Amino acid sequence: MEQVEEVLPYIGVRTLPGAPNGVVGLINCRGLPVPMIDLSLLALGRPRRWC
């Protein structure tokens, strides 16, 4: 875990029409848009189950 800088709580995600497969959308992190990536979809081929 030496490379993990920060874990953020789940916040609202703005969807991006036409985004590449695996890109869920954008989150606002300290005023900057940050892409939210579904690693389960990219690595396992199935989307993450949202709780």
DSSP secondary structure of the chain: -TT----PPP---B--TTPPTTEEEEEEETTEEEEEE-HHHHHHSSPPPP-
pLDDT score recorded for residue 17: 92
Residue 3 has which token pair? 């490379």
pTM for the structure as a whole: 0.61
Q: What is the pLDDT of residues 10-45, one digit of tens each?
A: 778 899 999 998 898 999 888 899 998 888 888 877
Residue 12 burial (10 A CB sphere; 0-12, 13-18, 19+): exposed
Q: Kindly give the pairing relationship between strand 23-29 and strand 32-37.
A: antiparallel
Name the one residue in this structure whose structure tokens are 């940050």. Answer: 34
